[in-house]
Amino acid sequence: MVVNVKIGDEKRNLSELLDWLNHILQATFSQLEHTCSGAAFCQLMDIIHPGSIDINKVKFTAKENADILDNYGLLREAFSKAQIKKVNILKTLDLLTWFKDLYDHNAAKQKYNPQEGFVEQEVVSLKSSREFKISKKEEQSSRLYSPVQTKYLNQKMLNVKRGSHESFFRSPATMCFIRKYSSSTSPDAGSNFASSKDSLVLGQKCREDITAFCSQTPYCLYLYHGVELEDENKASVLLLGFFDKVTGENKFRLLDVLHPEEETADAICTCIVEMLKKFRIPLINMAIFYSNFPDHEGLLSGLKLLKPEIVSLCGLSDMAGEVFHSGVENMEFSGLILNLITEIYKHFTTFPGALQTLLEDVDCSNLRNILTSQCSLFWRIIQKMTLAWSDLEKYFGSLDTDEKSICRLLGDLKIRLNILFLCHALQPLCDFQENIDRGVSITQLLQDASQLVRFYTTSFLRPKAAEFFLRRGKTSLIQDTVGHLPRGEVEVGKQAADFLLQRSEELTDYLETFHSSIISFYTTVTVNVIERLPFSDSILRNLSLVLSPGKKLEVTGKIVQDLGVCFGVCLGPENVSLLTDEFLEYQFIDGGDTQLADQSMEQYWKTELRIMGRTSSFGKLIISLLALPRTLKKEIIFEQVSLVFEELEKPKYNLSDICVIRYNFSLLIAGVSKLGPGGPDGYTVGEMVWGPIEGFGLWPGLVQSWDSKRPCGSIRKVIFFGNRMLSEVQADDLLPFFSFAKCFCSNSFATVMAYKDAIFNSLQVRQILLLVLCSSCTSMRFAIYSDITVWKNCFGKLNLILPLNITAFCLSCGSTPVEIIHPLFKGMLCSNCKYNFTETLYRYDEDGYQSYCTVCCSGMEVILCGHDNCCRSYCVDCLDILVGEGTFDRLKNVDPWTCYLCAPESSSRALKPRNDWSIRVQEFFANNSAMEFEPHRVYPSIPANQRRPIRVLSLFDGIATGYLVLRDLGFKVEKYVASEVDEESITISMVNHDGKITHVEDVKNITKQHIDKWGPFDLLVGGSPCNDLSIVNPARKGLFEGTGRLFFEYYRLLNVMKPKEDDPQPFFWLFENVVFMQTQVKADICRFLECNPVLVDAVKVSPAHRARYFWGNIPGMNRPIIASQNDKLRLQECLEPGRTAKYEKVRTITTRPNSLKQGTNDAHFPITMNGKDDNIWITEMEKIFGFPKHYTDVKNMGRLQRQRVLGKSWSVPVIRHLLAPLKDYFACDEVPLK
């Protein structure tokens, strides 16, 4: 019984009382007013008289008067239960003193975990931490603690500071899971290894984030059963996945590690529902559910009682094994096949070495159970058995009569036929299982599942029956024998078909039985696959189309409606209509693909979802689709789980806070001088130090003053940065702050948020102190600079300052190691940026400027050079990081701004252009493959103010593709002389370019006098006819006969036009021809032109294959060709409305009319219109080549005539790619800045 206690006469010190209260409650009260809510007194009463107060009713965050009165009402009831008749105390201090005396008298040896009571009732764990009690020893209220006691209190105070909600998540199972699967820590971190993992706990902030996200966002719930923990126990891990439309990322959160009392579907379902309630996560927003629990059907049925529209992926992970087992069991000889395999492997160890290598090496102890559950293993065994069949017959035939039964099984033609069939029929299932094991994305897995269903249905169903079944999805349709293929037409695989053909006489009587057996297998497998898939076949095939921005015009409203019903977005006819309207608005608002070339699908939808708004039904459907798992493989999912730290309150330090700590210059000098730690009396007030925190190693802090104004012996009071925790630490355990390099822990900085905050806070305070000292005492600068030098070595780990040797890092991305010099600026490039640089340096937008930054060849926001004829751009990151913060904003106000390559004298800091950059960039793109030749003459880039318009001679000009590309690129063309003999091509050029092209006679008649008269020229282009060079032409005459000889006309004029060695004016040339030529012909051309060709295929930038060789000296010809946003890559993009492409890419279009048809025999039309096959129209062909619509529509030319001139022309995007580097040499039109 608790007796009444009178208040003692001795006066209690307030500081001692608060120290006692903090010790008992593991709290951090610093002022008496913090206890006025009554919650602390309720906890004390629960300690002194357990059960007198229902601690769950205590309002720990009480601020309103009503809540405070409720707490004191609970306290009054507790006094009554404890038979404390009258407590007439008016002052809080007296009440606290009374409780101290009461505790000392009655309850000093009670066990109590105050963190229990501080946890709100709504977040009690299924397997909470209440089973772990902290045993409290009665201690005197004293300021002197041993170092061991100090460390214990530090850890205790840190735990309380992290918040009581955090303690809920510190269940043993959760911490074991974190320690086993967390990738954020490494063993080489020493003592920080365990502690930093223990800090990875879900706190109140994470709980609020999860609730905020999932209260309005569809999510995917994962339950992984039988997960091995660190202590070799197993548990069920509950995860949450969703798409964050703010950041455009898929995120994962750990909810809990479950240990239900019963491993039943009902028990786990109850646990899931309770956990969602505790996190305030609406069950109505659960769009997708996945679990590997054995009874996942029972688990799902329990969840569907609460929300019927849940897409279940549970049947996918074990589908192959279960389907395989049911299918094989339905075959007539399944038992004999399993017996044969089992008997063979009983003798595996006695097989000759050669025979062992032919067979799969497996564990024979439990072989029969393995064979009936593991599809891939069974398939590999029978696959290898078929290859070693004759060897097995030979081996067992040589044994005693005891093994004759195996010989009979091996000699049974029916068994062998069934095994050959299974080798064929099980392979798709095995491929599907391997994709699951590899962790492929769910969208890809669902497409594979669609292919799996089609494989099996088309193997035994008539085409119309298969199509009807796939459209309707009713399993009863495939069991109707009317739709089955007749005997002999059912797909059995090549090996089985060949075996049947060879042994047709012996197997004649068995054929009908075999037909029935394989029909039974196909039917069973197909039904089982269909039942385990979450969607119908049409949705499986079109799911990825809905998420693909480039294919949104191919999506139908019916697909979106079906998906809306599956994901619970459409609960009624009005919702279906609204969803359809929103989808159509999205589909046709731009009329096509608006995704940027380097933009991910997630980032695309981030923008689109922001436009759609929160209430959009179509937006909700997209978020549901984006929440689909990237993979079902738990190891990959666990790596992506983001365990959010409890976000501690960030303390704000300013100069006034520091001034409260009475420091002077002499005290601060101790931190950087050679007097040792704190001089003879140890560390002084106001000094920055490193002190130990249990489990975290050394932590930055400030030495605080004592109430007595003097240190108590060797004990120092330290307030630690980041968590503002006050501790009393032995001076011997402290280190001066200038020992930063020794004390800083990079692992804790990367994994512990509180430690990261502490580092930044301490550096901010240090900066303020140094500024004060520098302005007041210049004699200290040497010491300060030496201190900063020590810090600099550590800051490299934090990526806070730029290393002095910039050539050790990639200038574009800052990574290491580096591979090659940056051709334009002083610095280096890594291998990834080198490839990116070659792809994008000469890519230009419609306004004529570079698409990407000149420095890093990336960047979303760029500033353009305003100098005449300069087309370069610079991104915000490169300018602000390499030149200085705020540079980009400052330069935006400069009009016109001249870039660093045009005005090298304006460069500063780390962005320094090379003096020889114009030569280096040519060497960067040098083509050194194939035969060795002397390198072409390198022309330095011409300064922008010295560039003049280009003059071009085009041989075999065709329909003026070269002129069209030059104008598209923005070149000023002073003269364009074209040699062409085809009248129709000349007419097309004249009409489209307003007579700006000078047409001359046949190339064979052009002489040096003509060149001198028309010239000088800057560029020679041409491609001689390929008829007699292409190996496709069986009547070809080669390079030295027929039209092949026209190459030498090009070669002759090239030599005439080449400038002398002392002529600095750049001269460029380009020659094109077909790829499919004889090797010797190619070698001869290379020897004459003295260079190797580059192969460029138009299929990368257009819907048609058109591989061509290009010889020349234009810089960067061998760089990769990358499609731009305006390039049409699929045939459908080039078609007129109402027409549908049957192919994404078509083969090379030539002058031959049948080249428009596809297939080896020119049998397939590439387009359908109104349900009928059709060919490519000429206007569509023009788009395929990159020409404007109706470009060849002149002179009443017919379809065949227009195809003939197009078939001989160049692909516009390819020539644009090749000629783009010339913008560094010749003048371009002024274009409006974008």
Query: pLDDT tens-digit profile of 44-73?
Result: 888 888 878 887 788 877 777 778 888 888
Mean pLDDT confidence for 125-133: 31
The fraction of the chain above a pLDDT of 70, given in percent, is 78
Please check whether residue 290 is in contact with residue 221, taking contact to mean a CB–CB distance below 8 angstroms.
Answer: yes
Please check whether residue 528 is in contact with residue 323, taking contact to mean a CB–CB distance below 8 angstroms.
Answer: yes
Given this model, what pLDDT does residue 365 score? 61
pLDDT band at 29 (very low <50, low <70, confident <90, very high): confident
Q: For residue 149, what are the CA distances in angstroms to 481, 718, 719, 723, 729?
A: 83, 15, 17, 20, 10
Question: How many C-beta atoms surround the C-beta of residue 991 within 10 A?
Answer: 14
Q: In the predicted model, is pLDDT for residue 581 greater than 60?
A: yes
Given this model, what pLDDT does residue 231 score? 63
pTM score: 0.44
Residues 6+ apart with CB under 8 A from 179: 194, 197, 198, 230
Closest-CA residue to 677 (of 714, 704, 706, 705): 714
SS3 869: coil
DSSP 8-state secondary structure symbol assigned to residue 1075 = S
Q: In the predicted model, is pLDDT for residue 546 greater than 90?
A: no
Q: Which residue has the higher pLDDT, 152 or 375?
A: 375
Given this model, what pLDDT does residue 113 score? 46
Q: Which residue has the higher pLDDT, 467 or 807?
A: 467
Given this model, what pLDDT does residue 206 score? 63
pLDDT band at 373 (very low <50, low <70, confident <90, very high): low
User: For tokens 């793109």, what's the residue?
Assistant: 925
Does residue 896 have a cis peptide bond before it, meaning omega lies within 30 degrees of 0? yes
How do 973-979 and 998-1000 pair as beta strands?
A: parallel
How many whole angstroms separate alpha carbon 628 and alpha carbon 225?
19
Mean pLDDT confidence for 201-226: 74
pLDDT band at 712 (very low <50, low <70, confident <90, very high): low
Q: For residue 668, what are the CA distances in angstroms to 674, 703, 784?
A: 12, 11, 11
Q: Please give the span between the terminal C-alpha atoms of the chain, in angstroms, as a whole number.
A: 85
How many whole angstroms separate alpha carbon 1164 and alpha carbon 1158?
5
Mean pLDDT confidence for 465-494: 82
Q: Report the catalytic residues.
A: 1026
| Greatest Cα pair distance in the chain | 126
Question: How many C-beta atoms surround the C-beta of residue 1021 within 10 A?
Answer: 28
pLDDT band at 154 (very low <50, low <70, confident <90, very high): very low
* Buried/exposed 570-597: b ≥16 CB within 10 Å, e otherwise: beeeebbebbbebbeebbeeeeebebee
pLDDT band at 123 (very low <50, low <70, confident <90, very high): very low
CA of residue 814 relative to chain centroid, distance: 20
Q: Which residue has the higher pLDDT, 871 or 1056?
A: 1056
The fraction of the chain above a pLDDT of 90, given in percent, is 9
Please check whether residue 1104 is in contact with residue 1187, taking contact to mean a CB–CB distance below 8 angstroms.
Answer: no
How many whole angstroms separate alpha carbon 1104 and alpha carbon 1166?
12
Q: In the predicted model, is pLDDT for residue 7 greater than 60?
A: no
DSSP 8-state secondary structure symbol assigned to residue 256 = E
Partners of 819 in beta bridges: none
Q: Which residue has the higher pLDDT, 83 or 1020?
A: 1020
Given this model, what pLDDT does residue 506 score? 86
Given this model, what pLDDT does residue 201 score? 38
Which stretch of 664-678, 872-886, 910-924, 1069-1083 has the lowest confidence by average pLDDT?
A: 664-678
Which stretch of 109-123, 737-751, 868-882, 1117-1131 has the lowest confidence by average pLDDT?
A: 109-123
Q: In the predicted model, is pLDDT for residue 784 greater than 50?
A: no
Given this model, what pLDDT does residue 826 score? 87
CA dihedral (308, 310, 311, 313) in degrees, to 10, reads -110
Q: Which residue has the higher pLDDT, 552 or 220?
A: 220
pLDDT band at 142 (very low <50, low <70, confident <90, very high): very low
Given this model, what pLDDT does residue 973 score? 93
- Residue 151 — left, alpha, or beta (φ > 0 → left; ψ -120 to 50 → alpha)? alpha
Q: Which residue has the higher pLDDT, 133 or 1081?
A: 1081
Q: In the predicted model, is pLDDT for residue 800 greater than 60?
A: no
Mean pLDDT confidence for 587-602: 61
Given this model, what pLDDT does residue 922 score? 65
Given this model, what pLDDT does residue 676 score? 36
Closest-CA residue to 1149 (of 1122, 1120, 1188, 1178): 1178
Given this model, what pLDDT does residue 1161 score? 62
φ, ψ at 38 (rounded to 5°): 90, -10
DSSP run (H or E) holding 875: strand 873-875
How many whole angstroms separate alpha carbon 653 and alpha carbon 758?
11
CA dihedral (253, 258, 263, 269) in degrees, to 10, reads -50
How many whole angstroms separate alpha carbon 1058 and alpha carbon 1026?
25
Please check whether residue 427 is in contact with residue 379, taking contact to mean a CB–CB distance below 8 angstroms.
Answer: yes
DSSP 8-state secondary structure symbol assigned to residue 883 = I
pLDDT band at 91 (very low <50, low <70, confident <90, very high): low
**pLDDT per residue over 666-688, tens digit each?**
333 333 333 333 444 567 888 88
Could you tell me the two tokens for 290? 């996945």
Q: Which domains does the chain have, with CATH numbers?
A: 14-105 (1.10.418.10), 164-313 (3.30.420), 319-528 (no CATH), 537-587+601-634 (no CATH), 661-795 (2.30.30.140), 835-925 (3.30.40), 944-1117+1189-1224 (3.40.50.150)
DSSP run (H or E) holding 918: helix 917-924
How do 249-258 and 697-703 pair as beta strands?
A: unpaired
Type of residue found at 155: Q
Q: For residue 150, what are the CA distances in angstroms to 673, 696, 1184?
A: 28, 14, 78
Mean pLDDT confidence for 947-974: 92
Given this model, what pLDDT does residue 686 score? 80
pLDDT band at 951 (very low <50, low <70, confident <90, very high): very high
Given this model, what pLDDT does residue 682 score? 66
Closest-CA residue to 621 (of 581, 573, 565): 565
Q: Which residue has the higher pLDDT, 1138 or 124?
A: 1138
Mean pLDDT confidence for 784-788: 39
Q: In the predicted model, is pLDDT for residue 905 greater than 60?
A: yes
CA of residue 997 relative to chain centroid, distance: 50
How many whole angstroms separate alpha carbon 1133 and alpha carbon 697?
62
Instruction: State the average pLDDT for the chain.
Output: 76
DSSP 8-state secondary structure symbol assigned to residue 712 = B
Please check whether residue 634 is in contact with residue 224, taking contact to mean a CB–CB distance below 8 angstroms.
Answer: yes
Q: Which residue has the higher pLDDT, 206 or 390?
A: 390
H-state helical runs in 854-911: 876-878, 887-892
CA dihedral (371, 377, 379, 381) in degrees, to 10, reads -90
Q: In what order do the strands lie in the sheet with 1068-1074?
A: 998-1000, 973-979, 950-955, 1019-1022, 1068-1074, 1107-1112, 1094-1097
SS3 786: helix
Residues 6+ apart with CB under 8 A from 1044: 1024, 1025, 1028, 1029, 1036, 1037, 1038, 1081
pLDDT band at 965 (very low <50, low <70, confident <90, very high): very high
How many whole angstroms separate alpha carbon 193 and alpha carbon 178?
12
CB neighbour class for 785 (10 Å; exposed up to 12, middle 13-18, buried from 19): exposed
Q: Which residue has the higher pLDDT, 1159 or 304?
A: 304
- Residue 1058 — left, alpha, or beta (φ > 0 → left; ψ -120 to 50 → alpha)? beta
Mean pLDDT confidence for 94-107: 76
CA dihedral (386, 389, 392, 393) in degrees, to 10, reads 150
**pLDDT per residue over 1143-1178, tens digit each?**
888 888 888 888 888 765 667 888 999 989 899 999
Mean pLDDT confidence for 1049-1072: 89
